Structure 1
């Protein structure tokens, strides 16, 4: 049974059969072709048995191995490597079919190549998951055939490999590297002009053109007989909380990814940058109840705790209770903190219902409300209107777009910081706002 399960007929074999069938049919009018057709049939049968002998005399004709990372990164292109080697004494033609996880809904994966004796090759492809969770890779199927291409022998390797899909680790590492190398401006992160300075002293240095004359240290100047100034730095160890709304408004998808997952990816990347800037980071997720609360801590190992909590967050199909969030923040977050609230409002009436709670949090903390532009509406607005129905659709879209800007102004009117962003630009804009708040000394 094992032999029969591994034996497959090559497509070329059916072409040979078609030629033989044509010979038998023509022999009805050309009788001399009839014995030739039978000879060819016996030859094909002999080659069939010989091909079986070639492929099955070596018990270990092929070896293949799928190399998976320990974790896949959500919304990113993750490389998967397959290494295979042939031990057949002849050139082998390979057809490789990897059974991808059902979440990808891809059933036409195939890679073809050829291998000489003892030759080793690598094949790399990428997958882009758009959901967190467990992804199970099925069988790694390798079909080998000889130059005759009459039959194929199936080899099966690495059954049911599970790999978890976590929030975007690749994106986090990208911003981590840029923060260390001070190349944040390459991806749109901008330096904010400092207005005044914070009160955390760093060092005394010589005066250079452009230094604030208000920071001149007169005692040091008298000792050194040259102008010396105090240099200050951004305050460190400040508590920062990422608050994620897991209600139904965050279920909306853009480019295959839910708003919730955009917020989760941004939270992970931002938390990593804030920890590298020596601030304390924590997180809260809420809907009808407080689902997750991680107190703000200043340890790099704390990022693993945040990562595991983000991995298990799910979207609820109910309206979120901002009153409960306000009470929880008032009770648990006792020090003045930077609160980054990831949510979404589609109507200004929805914002006004939650405005008293937002104002309550903004009295003691620096609150930044982050909500999203509807990029599909923006595309509709920018398109040309060619008929009455399109004009109607554009008018409604412009109304919704205007409401977003009115909500932003309404929040700013009450002293609440805002970010109105496209989903794909969320991480950049969040880190920009963080750098701005730190530079302006608002926290």
Structure 2
């Protein structure tokens, strides 16, 4: 396609500038053509018919004088600089018509293809007014995006011709992970404690940080009674302790090939990032230090340990744009790196694919060393396809073979997991929608049991 033809084609695709005939004008010419063909059978000359067509064509151009000039129109876009993946976001477009003529419009905003939209958007603007149009989009992929142009078409009252112009409006949008589960934890942390019966457990007598003095209730350890306050108030009072704060939590995010497996909402990496941010929120709110490390064949991102809920923004800015790499993860290299940067005892919480990890014999060598100083826990997403195959009724020979192969894979995975757990390296799997809840529950359980 030559450059001139390409430019003409772009104009028809809501690009660049130009003037286009509308469907109404084409229908008018179609009806006239049929009428002229009928008249030609009665002896009308072709010269007269061509002259009449040209007269109608040039007469239709008068319609352009009753539509606003391009310099009379201006546009502005209002969009949030930050939006969450998968959540609806409103964008407002403000169009000003400074002419005396009204117009009917339709426009397409320069939103990237990874956003859902409902273009073209249609409407009408009266002369000398400003119209504010609001539409909704959803970002399906994390990352940085530029919205540079807005493609606009409008026509006058007769609607025979349509003018086309492009507004240059540059906006930068950052798409971050979905923080819905993080907000749910901040609003109601108790939901995350009660999953699978995980509850606050009592500490060893006198261990942990002193929290407060309260009235003695049935079931309290008599050794925690505060005899001085009991004598003052003439009521049995007891000391209450809570897990020590200031522990170190290191969250590891696997960005290797297997984390790109698609789930119902996003892929494994998306769910892992959202769950990791929820765990980080819980730890930071409890006064612990949190560091974050994302890796595949090598370390992609490392955020040193920090304390306080404001540290969550530091973590979010560092990992919001990490992507899945089409390579196998090098667990040995990242664990070796972790040994050099994390000297203090911490909880190593890794989000990865359990079935892939248990087959990495080289990682076991490094983890045996790290286990002496750190507590290791891996969290992964259950393979729903494998579970469906196992639970499927073997009504045919093919289904029976698939079921037996799925059961064999499950047995192999359980056997390998048991080998790792015998070394003190815990591994758990959860459903896609329960990944964050499970990870937070186990984190709080580890803190309550003073395993660090």
TM-score normalized by structure 2? Answer: 0.81
Are the structure 2 counterparts of residues 36 and 134 from structure 1 closer, same or farther at C-alpha, using a change threshold of 3 Å?
A: same
Asked whether the equivalents of residues 254 and 296 of structure 2 are also in contact (C-alpha less than 8 Å), the reply is: yes
Q: Would you say 1:110 and 2:120 are equivalent positions?
A: yes
Are the structure 2 counterparts of residues 188 and 156 from structure 1 closer, same or farther at C-alpha, using a change threshold of 3 Å?
A: farther
Instruction: Determine the C-alpha separation between the residues in 1 that align with 2:124 and 2:293.
Output: 53
Instruction: Determine the C-alpha separation between the residues in 2 that align with 1:191 and 1:78.
Output: 37
Structure 1 residue aligned with 2:61, among 49, 57, 70? 49
Aligned residue for 2:228, secondary structure, equals helix
What is residue 270 of structure 2 aligned with on the other side?
261
Q: Greater CA deviation, 407-416 or 182-191?
A: 182-191
Cα shift at 1:175? 4.0
Asked whether the equivalents of residues 99 and 140 of structure 1 are also in contact (C-alpha less than 8 Å), the reply is: yes
| Aligned pairs (5 A) from 1:83-98 | 83-98=94-109
Structure 2 residue aligned with 1:137, among 138, 143, 147? 147
Structure 2 residue aligned with 1:298, among 307, 330, 354? 307
> What is the CA deviation profile of residues 326-367 of structure 1, one whole-angstrom value per residue up to 9, with x for unaligned ones?
433333322221110122143586155533433432332221
Instruction: Determine the C-alpha separation between the residues in 1 that align with 2:424 and 2:67.
Output: 76
Instruction: Determine the C-alpha separation between the residues in 1 that align with 2:70 and 2:17.
Output: 17
Query: Any gaps of 5 or more consecutive residues in structure 1?
Result: none
Are the structure 2 counterparts of residues 186 and 411 from structure 1 closer, same or farther at C-alpha, using a change threshold of 3 Å?
A: closer
Structure 1 residue aligned with 2:202, among 196, 216, 222? 196
What is residue 33 of structure 2 aligned with on the other side?
21
Q: Would you say 1:232 and 2:232 are equivalent positions?
A: no
Cα shift at 1:241? 0.5
TM-score normalized by structure 1? Answer: 0.83
* Aligned length, in residue pairs: 435
Are the structure 2 counterparts of residues 222 and 127 from structure 1 closer, same or farther at C-alpha, using a change threshold of 3 Å?
A: same
Are the structure 2 counterparts of residues 421 and 152 from structure 1 closer, same or farther at C-alpha, using a change threshold of 3 Å?
A: same
Instruction: Determine the C-alpha separation between the residues in 1 that align with 2:79 and 2:282.
Output: 27
Asked whether the equivalents of residues 293 and 299 of structure 2 are also in contact (C-alpha less than 8 Å), the reply is: yes
What is residue 342 of structure 1 aligned with on the other side?
351
> What is the CA deviation profile of residues 250-288 of structure 1, one whole-angstrom value per residue up to 9, with x for unaligned ones?
343335744333323332332233212211100223344
| Aligned pairs (5 A) from 1:212-231 | 212-231=221-240
Asked whether the equivalents of residues 280 and 298 of structure 1 are also in contact (C-alpha less than 8 Å), the reply is: yes
Q: Would you say 1:182 and 2:195 are equivalent positions?
A: no
Cα shift at 1:152? 1.3
Asked whether the equivalents of residues 193 and 441 of structure 2 are also in contact (C-alpha less than 8 Å), the reply is: no
Cα shift at 1:430? 1.7
Cα shift at 1:298? 0.9
Instruction: Determine the C-alpha separation between the residues in 1 that align with 2:394 and 2:96.
Output: 59
What is residue 282 of structure 2 aligned with on the other side?
273
Structure 2 residue aligned with 1:11, among 23, 28, 51? 23
Q: Greater CA deviation, 153-162 or 34-43?
A: 34-43
Query: Any gaps of 5 or more consecutive residues in structure 2?
Result: 1-6
Asked whether the equivalents of residues 347 and 403 of structure 1 are also in contact (C-alpha less than 8 Å), the reply is: no
Cα shift at 1:147? 2.9
